[in-house]
Chains A and B, each alone.
Chain A
């Protein structure tokens, strides 16, 4: 197990992401922040807070559960059984720019599922993907628009983002 980001590094990275996202959202832009359950949800809440401060305005924030859109539901190999949780997007996403947030971009399959799920909810003006870690080795033609840190971690290793709200501590580890 190797810690590649501590609390301070994560905080700096989120500040940096906030700046870069804010720069693409001129005054009057109709946008919303949506996090992918579970760690993306926590990151989305933090980024929504810093973004609101930076931009001096409020905007809608939601949570997306992508379980029903996963492409591996019938593939028994792999991790534990996926659990269906709730999607909480109580605003209209039509014509909004959606800042979609996840903790790690790896194969790109979660992002694909999230885009399909969003499009079933309406027709956003654009979807932009923001992730804390891009670990490379994508399996689909999907790239992040904003990433906190890019690392090259092979498939034999796991990248885990731990966040205080869920895990009691802020760190990113590779094991």
Chain B
């Protein structure tokens, strides 16, 4: 990457709502920017003054370990102040609406809202009603952009580029915002994506997505370069999408035996949390092909870059005025 290549792009977005609306160039720019943040986490003083004086609020209406901690750490490492908000201990339990909650927080002078919500479109809705930067940390079944960014960042790190790679996303696609953001990011960066799982876990209108669909993991495992295993979202399942968990793992679990039939350099990914023994065997999750913990580590650099870029987007927009 030469300097002039990078300089062509000016980041103008003050929100990160999803990857569907970003261009390939913008995604690549964001990933290139994230490289510059990796080094901060390797120092003895894990801090840069970049967002000093900014306030970030983590507005989480759903449970989260990784994403929330990762955003908190990312903001801390850039010297921003972080306010943690949880549904249980807030006035939401007294009947306050999302927009009212956010407006009240904004009145206290926050700059960036990181929101996770069980309704698709919540982040977008918020961006229309308040002035702060909005970062979508997962909205319903819609998108989870920072997860997909760290996924493609990790693939680029391991394989150099996504161009021409065959990537399988396995499991509960229907309930997965991670899958949706992955599809946009990976296909924009030139990969071929195959969704793999039982028909009952495929999303509606899957034929409108830029992907192939396979109902058999065994039929496609040999051709994959990267496999992203998703958790069955039991908390969101209605009805009986498969006869039993055992049967599901029998057909769609990533076992040592299946990995042995795949390409030797297959990259095994999982967005977490893992259900060991269900969608992935422990030996595979902890094995040589797995980049699962690397994904988590990369999440920090990617989220620092996102926090930085949305604030740059604000500066850029105020320049235009």
Contacts and interface: CB of A to CB of B under 8 A. Distances in A.
B312 interface: yes
A76 B316 contact: yes
A91 B45 CA distance: 15
Interface string B56-99: 00000000000000000000001000000000000000000000
Contacts, number: 62
Given A73-B311, A84-B33, A87-B36, A68 B6 contact: no
Contact of A65 (B36, B312, B319): B36
Interface string B38-55: 111001110111100000
Given A38-B3, A87-B36, A74 B49 contact: no
Nearest to B43: A121
A158 B308 CA distance: 28
Interface of B: 3, 6-7, 10-11, 33, 35-40, 43-45, 47-50, 78, 305, 308, 311-312, 315-316, 318-319
A68 B311 CA distance: 12
A86 B48 CA distance: 13
Interface string A120-132: 1110000000000
8 contacts: A68-B50, A74-B311, A77-B319, A83-B7, A85-B6, A86-B35, A116-B49, A120-B47
Nearest to A76: B319
B201 to A, nearest CB: 39
Contacts of B318: 76
Interface class of chain A by DSSP: loop
B36 A75 contact: no
A81 B10 CA distance: 6
Interface of A: 38, 65, 67-69, 73-77, 80-87, 116-117, 120-122, 166
3 tightest A-B CB contacts, nearest first: A84-B36, A76-B319, A68-B48
Contact of B37 (A76, A81, A82, A84): A84
Contacts of A83: 6-7, 33
B29 to A, nearest CB: 9
A67 B315 CA distance: 15
B36 A81 contact: no
B37 A74 contact: no
B39 A84 contact: no
Contact of B11 (A38, A74, A81, A87): A81
B315 A74 contact: yes
Contact of B43 (A76, A77, A116, A120): A120
Contacts of B10: 80-81
B319 A84 contact: no
Contacts of A80: 7, 10
Contacts of B47: 120
A86 B36 contact: yes
Contacts of B3: 38, 85, 166
A119 to B, nearest CB: 8
Nearest to B6: A83
Given A87-B36, A120-B43, A121-B43, A81 B316 contact: yes
A73 B48 contact: no
A121 B43 CA distance: 6
Nearest to A120: B45
A117 B45 CA distance: 10
Nearest to A77: B319
Nearest to A122: B44
B39 A86 contact: yes
Given A68-B36, A84-B33, 20 more contacts: A38-B3, A65-B36, A68-B37, A68-B308, A69-B50, A74-B311, A76-B316, A81-B10, A81-B11, A81-B312, A81-B316, A83-B7, A84-B37, A85-B35, A86-B39, A87-B36, A87-B39, A120-B43, A121-B45, A166-B3
